[in-house]
Structures are given as structure tokens and as C-alpha cells.
A and B are shown apart, each in its own frame.
Chain A
């Protein structure tokens, strides 16, 4: 039987390496009863992959922020900008009773089962001027992904969020259509944004995760032994990947500095204070237990 894993990242990306490790482990431990096919962006983007896994064309898909906003919106709090201080804080949204509700929601709405979370590097703001306080982004044309809470929070802070498709981001920063963008450092480096931006402002405003999702039909069709075996392989690959990601972060910072970028340490609390009204508005749209947890983070 073949397990198709769809990963919406470049072949060099850490998550692709996690996928490769997963492939090796599964094929080896099941002695070839299962083969694994790794598919990248040539079969589509994130939404395409999730839909594909949802209908069973792919058995496993990697998701960024989308799986939660598409299939479990009342719980999609882990990627809220300026709310959490660490990955550990953000991860609680997937644990305990909330975690069970998340799983149920994903299965009901997306026919997908969350089988693992990979750590991502926190997102930072890049710019052509140093950004230290919310005033520095006031009126700046900022490219962010089309995630409604993100748009709301950044607007509250005073930026002008602009939806620019990722392929046009580099050119748009170069020519000045947009002035700033925000991403994890590995995206900043791989997108060569150091050529068109001068500052990495360490806002670390989003601690999101990569979500590993399995088609629920495939999950339920596995024998108990295979289920345990595959889950163990996933857990091991993810643990290996988390170390890789955290180890690489410092290296990427060095590479960005070598490429001429300056690092700044903005007043993150000031951003959080400015964003608070929007965060409260967004929190009100969540399930009560999630709302309370989010509010406990900013109080």
C-alpha cells in the first residue's frame, strides 16, 4: 500500500527532511508493506493539499495555519500574533480537553486527523528601517497572508496590511509596492529577502506550528499494529525535526547578518498593548475555553 505525503514546502525545507525521514522509517519498519511517496508544491499549495488529504488522494498532508482556520476555526488560536511568548504556551491550545475538541472538529469538518505538530521558527518582521515600537509600522504597507485575525491585529497596530501573492513579494519589496513583510527567518533567507530588506526586527510575534494531518478513513482502515507503528515513526521524525529547526534558527540568523541584515529588538510588549483591543475582539470569536486561555496570556 502506498502512503502519499503532500508537503507544501521546498525540497530543501526542514519539513521535507522530516518527510524523508518518515519515508525511510515507515518503509523499513513495515518491511515494504507500505511504500511512501513524497509530493511537494508541484501538486499544489497548502489548501490544495489539505483538500486532497481530506478526500483521501493523499494519506498525509502538512498544513501551516490553514487546517485550523479551515476546519477548526473556534480553536484556531495558536498562531495569533503578539499573544504567546513561546511555542510551549501556544501548544496548550492542542492539549487536554481543548485538544480533544480540536481533533473532533478536524475529523468532522475536514475528515482529517491531527497526528503531530512540528515546531516552526517564530515569525519576524522585516523592513528597510529599524522597527522598535508600534509607531515605526504606523502607515507602513505590510504584506501578510490572508488570515483575517492577522489582518485585524496588524491594522490595530497601525500597519496597512496588503495581500500580495508570495511570488510577487520579492519584487514588490524591491520596487516599494510594499515596505515590510513578516515570516520565519528561514523563509526570509530562502526567499532572498535580505536583498530587498535591511532589518530583521525580532518581534517573534507568531509561534505557529506545522500540522501533520492524516486522512481519517486511512487512519481507521489501519490495523492496530500498523497504527502504533506509523504513529511512532511520525513522533520520532517530528522530534528529530524539532531539534533540526531549533538548531537551524541560530544559523539562519547568522546567515542573514552575513548577508548584510541588521537585527533589532523591538519593544514587543508595546506591540501587544497596542494590539490588545483587536486581540480581545478576535478572542471573542473562539470557543469559551480558548478565549479564556488567550485572554490569560495578554492580561
Chain B
């Protein structure tokens, strides 16, 4: 992915402003990422080098992965790295592009809210449904999903406001 160009951002591709809150989120994401690789390594080493069976590695690495992905959804938005196709948008004039982008943001928020709503319901449903090998309930997993989505929606909402401001100031200028 990296410098992919349909990863084009609508706003600034520059590094996001520093914030203590987001440093915590980002650190959690990176730790989940490194933890996931470490658990996979434990799986191979414990089976082959140490000859002991560790039954929880498969599930643990998957759940760390899920944590990394859903926190990463929000972090990626901050870096403008979520994958979008801007082929058509790029052909439009700035004015029309701003309007369409604003619509795009609102639709994205609506979609994310629908999933968030489902995740909240699942948290309620699975509060006493256990994972297979780990001492957690599935509600935690849906909780991580809900958290990532909520952070993502917050960021999008900010973007919508910014886009509207920009559009209206452009309208004043012309």
C-alpha cells in the first residue's frame, strides 16, 4: 500500500497534528501488531523447538489482529491512508469536487454508524459467550470493533465540518 495513489486523501496527506489521545491509540495499535507477530512466532517455536502444545496462539493472534485492524481503520483515516478511488473526483473542478466529497463523507459516516450500531447490539448479545481458548467473551471483540468505528466516525465528522467550512469560504471569496 504505502504511497499508493488511489489511497489519495481528500484533505492533507501531511502527518497529522500531534495529540496525546491519538498517541495512545496509535501505540495500542502498534503493540497489537507486534504482539500478533510475536504470538505467531511463539506458535512455531513452541511446537517445533520446545515440543510443547500451546492451544491459545491461533486465537490470540487473530484477536490481536482484529484489534490492530479496527484501531488501524481510525489511525489510517488520520494519515489519509484509507483506500479510495479518486479517479473521477480528480477530473472535477474544485467546487463540484468539494460538494461531492462532502456527500461522500456523509455516506461514509452513515455506513460506519450502521455497522457501529450492529456492533453495539452484538456486545449486548455476546456478553456471556466465551471465546474458544482465551478467558474473554466475544463482547470484548465486538467492543474493539465498536471502539475503532466510533473513533473513525469522529474523525470523519471533523472532516465533514472542515469540507463545509472550506466550501462556504470559497463561495464567499467568489
Interface, chain A (partner B; CB < 8 A): 51, 54-55, 69-71, 73, 109-111, 139, 141-142, 146-148, 151, 155, 159-165, 177
Contacts and interface: CB of A to CB of B under 8 A. Distances in A.
Given A69-B130, A163-B58, A164-B58, 5 more contacts: A70-B130, A110-B129, A146-B132, A160-B51, A162-B53
Contacts, number: 56
| Nearest 8 Cβ contacts at the A-B interface | A163-B58, A160-B53, A146-B132, A161-B53, A151-B55, A146-B133, A70-B129, A163-B55
Given A160-B47, A165-B58, A148 B53 contact: no
Contacts of A161: 53, 55
A174 B18 CA distance: 51
Contacts of A162: 47, 53
B58 A146 contact: yes
Interface string B32-55: 000000000001000100011101
Given A109-B128, A141-B47, A155 B53 contact: yes
Contacts of A69: 130, 132
Contacts of A139: 51
B130 A163 contact: no
A52 to B, nearest CB: 11
Interface string B112-141: 000000000110011011101100001000
Nearest to A111: B125
Nearest to B58: A163
A98 B136 CA distance: 27
Interface size class of B (residues with CB under 8 A): 20 to 34
A175 to B, nearest CB: 12
B59 interface: yes
Given A70-B130, A162-B47, A148 B58 contact: no
Given A69-B130, A139-B51, A160-B51, A146 B125 contact: no
B53 A151 contact: yes
B57 interface: yes
Nearest to A143: B53
B128 A163 contact: no
B114 to A, nearest CB: 15
B53 A147 contact: no
A104 B118 CA distance: 26
A163 B57 contact: yes
Given A139-B51, A161-B53, A162-B53, A51 B125 contact: yes
